[in-house]
Every structure is written in structure tokens, then in C-alpha cells.
Amino acid sequence: PFSYTPGTPTSFVIPAAGRPQEKAAMFAAIGEYLSGLKAEGGTALYDATLVAVRNMAAERDKNPENAYSVVVFTDGKRTQGIEMDAFIQGYNELFAGQKATKKIPVFLVLYAEGEAGALQKIADLSGGKVFDARNQPLNVVFKDIRSYQ
């Protein structure tokens, strides 16, 4: 949620296809977790995104056979925390000397009037994409995101 600083990362592993009960239980656990989040302060958008990318890179190093990405739901506004230049520098440092295929893509879901141009910079840098959830249902957005992995 909106916050002046990123929270502690929480991981959820979605079971593979063919395990519908386990998958449903995981989605229920995710929903329960999300319902407990409380917004406070401003929006440290770039800080939170960089923390998420670092977390996924660390997970990928432990389990390189899996697909990893970061999905950010945002209005596109950063009100606190690092600026775009610092995000770009941090992202580039994290993946310095690695092939583009080793980068963690960031998929940004715009759900309100915001700064889509800044989001596009993150998508371009990471090999991700910006999705406009103002004009299409979230299930369509998630299907599109899934097709990139």
C-alpha cells in the first residue's frame, strides 16, 4: 500500500498447473495478507519497486529454473523516497555485466490517473510493460502479464 518506506517483503509461491486446490488456497492466503495491509504516509514507489526487484533477484539466484518478475499496482505517482535517476542507477548496478535476459522484468499496472511516462521508463529499463487497468479488467491484465513469462 501507499507508504513512506517499503515494508518487509513477503513471498507467495503459486503452485503449478494441475493443483487447483493448492492454488486456490494460496490465492486465499494472498487475499488475506492483502486485506491486512494499511496505507500510511506518502508513496515511495521507486524504493518499493527496487526492493522488490532485489528480492526477486535473490530468489532467482536460489532457484534459477523459475520465472521471476515484479508486478506493481500504482497510480504512477511518487511522493516520497528516491527519484527516478536513483532507481535507474540501483537497477543497473544490480544487473551490471549480466545479459538482458537475466534482468527481472517489472510489470506496472496503472489503475488511476497518474504519470504513465515514468512507469514506461521502468518498463523499458527492465524489459517489462505498463498495463492500463483503467481500460481493461484485472483478469485480462494478469493474463497478459503471464504471457510474458
Of 71 and 8, the structure prediction assigns the larger pLDDT to 71
Q: What is the CA radius of gyration of the chain?
A: 15
| Residue 14 pLDDT > 90 | no
In the prediction, which pLDDT does 83 show?
Answer: 94
Residue 58 has pLDDT above 90, yes or no: yes
Q: 53-58 contacts: CB < 8 A, separation 24 or more?
A: 53/91, 53/94, 53/104, 53/106, 53/126, 54/94, 55/9, 55/11, 56/104, 57/94, 57/95, 57/104
Q: Give the Cα-Cα-Cα angle 121, 136, 19 (nearest 5 degrees).
A: 95
Q: What pTM value is reported for the model?
A: 0.81
